[in-house]
Structure 1
Amino acid sequence: MIPKAERQKVLLTIVRNHRPANQHEIVALMRRSGWKVTQASVSRDVHELGVVKANGHYAVLNDLPAGPASAAAAEQAQRMRGLITGASAVGSHLLVVRTVVGAASTVAAAVDDQHLREAVGTLAGDDTIFVAVRSRTAQTRVLNVLRSWMR
């Protein structure tokens, strides 16, 4: 079994040095380097590491280690800056969030990671996210968080 931290370190190096266009390229480059990985493990690592596809290539969003909770929240907002292109309320229990192409799953994961009590769940496509919320008040709170990430 490959230690996860080592595998992820290699993945980050490959993304930085080769700018792969798809996950199959990442898998091939890792295998060429002697790592036995699957596309599924690469996909999980890409999600966990905040690696996104932008302008046709994978890139690392943020290399900084997580700090205390308040610093982590500020860091999260910084990472999201530039990824969210719009957010709006639809009905009383749904938000629609638009992102740059390829960033929706990263932004949805960030919403999930914030453990926002008001957000029931997220569903991400390529550049659109649906965020289900508990109430109209919750909708406003989550919308304010998302808009703070846009500033």
Structure 2
Amino acid sequence: MKKKYRYAKIRDIIQKEVIETQEELAAALADEGVSVTQATISRDIKELMLIKIPTEDGRYRYAVSPEQPALFAKDRFISLFQGTITSIQYSGNLVVIQTLPGSAQAVAYALDNTDIQEIVGTIAGDDTILLVVAEGKDPKKVKDRLYSFLREA
């Protein structure tokens, strides 16, 4: 189960339903076909920066923080890409991205949190990212899309 998919489901659930506990969230995810442990739910809540807000009857429910910055908005993503990427190549269903030293993990995190559905996941070292393209998807198109971010003004 991809983290991006699970995060999208969690956001959708807490916007549509009153979820007061981690157990309720896990049950709602299970109803959607997503099986998770309590530890995963706890980590997801922290990473998504969810907050608890009061309900009309005085109880508390999970919600997305209104002050939560948009994670890697397009302009921020493009700025990161343009400032750190040195080359992009592909082979088979893999895309290899070279960055400035020390930048690969930040770029990989940004890629993992984009809406590029063809990306299965990334592995980052110090200056190299291995990006896995979903089966049946064209890695050249992914590479070309990534290059397009480098050319945007």
Query: Normalization by structure 1: what TM-score?
Result: 0.49
Considering only CA atoms, is the larger Rg found in Structure 1 or Structure 2?
A: 2
Query: Normalization by structure 2: what TM-score?
Result: 0.48
